[in-house]
């Protein structure tokens, strides 16, 4: 079996051949080099709008990478430049070591793109349009691969339907089929679950996992932060055309563990007493609120000590509450901090 024909293979068919065939949390180290290497990428539109500013990004082979960012942050522009839909104003992009300009054939033949907008030839039939995509990417006709992709996406029964007769969810499946039928090594999913029902969303994540297990690198943009948490190996946060942070999802989850304890005081304080400085407290609400920020996943939470120290300092509180920051809070804070 050649390298390319294994994209949608069930994970169990490869069992017993090589140890690496089993799903692993971090496959990035298995192949040297980058799946996608971006340096100093800039994009300024004719209107003067700077969509991307000096973007550097390195995506490893076989990882699922989520690009998070508010609307207009530059996510789609970034994907569009890599895929050849938009011309960069500066910088370089290499796909699997191939420059997207000089070696566009090698670069593009490795890429599958599922754009955000549903764009279909309404009069074409499902089977014909998927077959077309394979040919366009320079692959010889293969009814077997077309059938497998259609079956994997529950489209086989609809193969002779015209696209205009399909529901939105089915059209989305067709677009995914078109992106997969030429067996790409890197798959771009631009807002894949926007406007998609729960069932398709679940199937889609199932598919993404299977593709990853076959070594396909997946780069997706999403507004659903929980999905990035659940699916992505690493997350990149982009805002106003700049990459603010690129981090392992587990590391971001560790940050998610940050909690805050707020004490509502009986009497207002003018300042935090020196005996409490070690806790890094913040005084707010006119001196009536003390906030203690801690990390409950580590040993650094010292709540009993804090309470004893408060008692010793003669500070009386009448109420307290704790609050856990979500990834969304972290995301909002990152975006806000980067754009003061």
Partner 1 sequence: MNVHAVRTIYMYELARAWRTLFQSVVSPVISTSLYFVVFGAAIGSRITEVDGVAYGAFIVPGLIMLMLLTQSVSNAAFAIYFPKFNGTIYELLSAPVSSFEIVLGYVGAAATKSVILGLIILATASFFVPLQIAHPLWMVVFLVLTAVTFSLLGFIIGIWADGFEKLQFIPLLIITPLAFLGGTFYSIDMLPPAWQTVTLFNPVVYLISGFRWSFYGLTDVSILASLVTVSAFLAACLAAVWWIFRTGYRLKA
* Contacting positions for partner 1 (CB under 8 A): 45, 80, 83-87, 104-109, 111, 113, 115, 117-123, 128, 132-141, 178
We find the least distance from the C-beta atom of residue 117 to partner 1, in angstroms, to be 6
Give CA–CA dist 130/126, Å, rounded.
Answer: 6
Give CA–CA dist 182/180, Å, rounded.
Answer: 6
We find the least distance from the C-beta atom of residue 228 to partner 1, in angstroms, to be 24
We find the least distance from the C-beta atom of residue 122 to partner 1, in angstroms, to be 7
We find the least distance from the C-beta atom of residue 86 to partner 1, in angstroms, to be 5
- Give me Rg for the CA atoms of the chain: 25
Q: What are phi and psi of 7, to 5 degrees?
A: -55, -50
Give CA–CA dist 251/237, Å, rounded.
Answer: 13
Structure tokens at 197: 């029902």
We find the least distance from the C-beta atom of residue 177 to partner 1, in angstroms, to be 12
Complex with partner 1: residue 51 or 334, whichever CB lies closer: 51
Complex with partner 1: residue 109 or 249, whichever CB lies closer: 109
Complex with partner 1: residue 88 or 334, whichever CB lies closer: 88
Task: Compute the C-alpha angle 62/197/149, nearest 5°.
Answer: 45
Complex with partner 1: residue 177 or 244, whichever CB lies closer: 177
Complex with partner 1: residue 9 or 125, whichever CB lies closer: 125
Give CA–CA dist 169/178, Å, rounded.
Answer: 14
Strand partners, 43: 52
Q: Could you tell me the CA-to-CA distances from 284 to 287, 305, 316 in Å, in that order?
A: 5, 21, 16
We find the least distance from the C-beta atom of residue 147 to partner 1, in angstroms, to be 18
Complex with partner 1: residue 80 or 262, whichever CB lies closer: 80
Torsion angle, alpha carbons of 262, 265, 269, 271, to 10: -20
């Amino acid at each position: 079996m050649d390298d390319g024909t294994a994209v949608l293979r069930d994970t169990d068919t490869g069992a017993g051949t090589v140890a690496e065939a089993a799903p692993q949390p971090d496959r990035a180290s298995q192949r040297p080099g980058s799946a996608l290497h971006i340096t100093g990428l800039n994009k300024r539109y004719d209107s003067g709008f700077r969509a991307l500013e000096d973007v550097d990004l390195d995506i490893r082979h076989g990882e699922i990478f989520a690009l998070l960012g508010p609307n207009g942050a530059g996510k789609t522009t970034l994907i569009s430049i890599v895929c050849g839909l938009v011309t960069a104003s500066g910088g370089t992009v290499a796909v699997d070591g191939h420059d997207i300009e000089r070696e566009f054939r090698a670069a593009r033949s490795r890429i599958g793109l599922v754009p955000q907008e549903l764009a279909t030839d309404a009069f074409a039939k499902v089977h014909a349009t998927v077959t077309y995509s394979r040919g366009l990417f320079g692959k010889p006709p293969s009814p077997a691969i077309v059938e497998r992709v259609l079956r994997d996406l529950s489209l086989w029964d609809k193969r002779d339907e015209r696209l205009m007769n399909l529901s939105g969810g089915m059209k989305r499946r067709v677009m995914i089929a078109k992106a997969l039928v030429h067996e790409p090594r890197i798959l771009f999913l631009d807002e894949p679950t926007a406007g998609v029902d729960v069932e398709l969303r679940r199937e889609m994540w199932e598919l993404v996992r299977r593709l990853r297990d076959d070594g396909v690198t997946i780069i997706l943009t999403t507004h659903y932060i929980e999905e990035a948490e659940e699916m992505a190996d690493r997350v990149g946060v982009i805002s106003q055309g700049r990459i603010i942070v690129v981090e392992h999802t587990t590391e971001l989850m560790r940050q998610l563990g940050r909690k805050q304890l707020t004490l509502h005081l009986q009497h207002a304080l003018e300042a935090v007493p020196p005996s409490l400085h070690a806790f890094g407290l913040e005084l707010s609400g006119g001196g009536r609120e003390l906030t203690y920020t801690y990390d409950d996943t580590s040993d650094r939470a010292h709540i009993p000590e804090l309470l004893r120290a408060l008692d010793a300092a003669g500070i009386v509180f009448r109420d307290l509450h704790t609050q856990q920051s979500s990834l969304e809070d972290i995301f909002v804070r990152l975006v806000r901090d980067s754009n003061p």
